[in-house]
A and B are shown apart, each in its own frame.
Chain A
Amino acid sequence: MQFDSFSDFIAMGGYGFYVWLSFGSCALILIGILLSSLNDTKRILSSVQQQVDREARIKQAKLEQQV
């Protein structure tokens, strides 16, 4: 460990703002693209599910009409 205390670690020898700005924005961007990709998967699968349900309803309605 290069730092004596946690506050030393945060201060980064006076460069804390720049170091944490870098690591913070990096983490934010990485998490951002990760979440947006996960969200896309969910969105696509739910739209497929909707389409499947819709087709099932249409099929059901047609069957009822015939009866």
Chain B
Amino acid sequence: MWKWLHPYAKADRAYQLCNTLLPYFAVITVVCMIVGWVWGLAYAPADYQQKDSYRIIFIHVPSAILSMGAYSSMAIAAIVALVWQLRNAELAVIAIAPVGACVTAIALITGAAWGKPMWGAWWVWDARLTSELILLFLYLGVLSLYHAFEDKKAAGRAASILAIVGVINLPIIHFSVEWWNTLHQGASITKFNTNAIDPSMFWPLMLNIVAFAAFVGTVTLMRLKNEILQREKHRPWVRQLLNRG
């Protein structure tokens, strides 16, 4: 396996891999997102209690899941970067961070817009909301730490360490609704076989989760390509790209 994996440590091979994967992610994103949004907004039945306001779930839950998923991926890349000293992994950390920050911002904004009609407040200093806000700050911290260093090797290391330390926040977010008394409701879709969510709402939600995951993948690949190009811009293989158009 190592023999097969090893060439991808090289920047140009990694760049090619990104190019190969990108169209698949892009197509999955476009198809799932269009179908997911139309299904969720127009075809899924209204909730018996929350009526049509619950439709925010179709972007709120996917973005919240992916805000944590993207952070986990970023932390894994950070571990790889620190342990095996792979520069591409460092670049992956920096490629994921802005995407993760955007997804986290979406989770917070949609949460606020859902909280106002249902709870009566845009924001409460509740454990779930506060820990999710900290997640946003962690993403921004990783980014600004990376850009604070002139020496990109030190920058990558510092950002990776912060990314790994921040993992402690993930279980806090996940279990916040159980550990503390909060306004935020508990988990529903991760509790299997409890019929907490009807199939007519579950499937469009699932589709939107796939769409968000594919979107995060797509933009991360695009940004990783950018980071590789930026880092390698004096290399001949980058110059050859220009001739191909």
Is B56 an interface position by the 8 A CB rule?
A: yes
B residues sitting closer than 8 Å to A (CB atoms) are: 37, 41-46, 51-53, 55-56, 59-60, 63, 98-99, 102, 105-106, 109-110, 113-114, 116-117, 215, 219, 222-223, 225-226, 229-230, 233-234, 238-239, 241-242
**CB-contacts of A14-28 with B (<8 A):** 14-15, 18-19, 21-23, 25-26
Cross-chain contact B55 with A45 (CB below 8 angstroms) = no
Number of interface residues of A (CB under 8 A): 31
Taking CB atoms, residues of chain A closer than 8 Å to B44 are: 2
Establish whether residues A22 and B110, one from each chain, have CB atoms under 8 Å apart when the complex forms: yes
List 11 A-B pairs, Cβ < 8 Å: A9-B41, A12-B55, A15-B117, A18-B56, A18-B113, A22-B110, A26-B59, A29-B109, A30-B102, A48-B229, A52-B242
**Cβ of A37: which chain B residues have Cβ within 8 Å of it?**
219, 222-223, 226
Measured between beta carbons, the chain B residues less than 8 angstroms from A15 are: 51-53, 117
The answer to whether A47 and B233 touch (CB under 8 A), given A18-B56, A40-B223, A41-B222, is: yes
| A23 and B37 contacting across the interface, CB-CB below 8 Å | yes
Contact B242 A48, beta carbon cutoff 8 Å = yes
Q: How far is the CB of A21 from chain B (nearest CB, A)?
A: 5
Interface residues of A in 27-50 (CB under 8 A from B): 29-30, 32-34, 37-38, 40-41, 44-45, 47-49
Partner of B53, one of A12, A26, A29: A12
> Given the complex of chains A and B, what is the CA–CA distance between A40 and B56 in angstroms?
31
B116/A33 in contact, CB under 8 A: no
Whole-angstrom distance from the CB of B20 to the nearest CB of chain A? 17
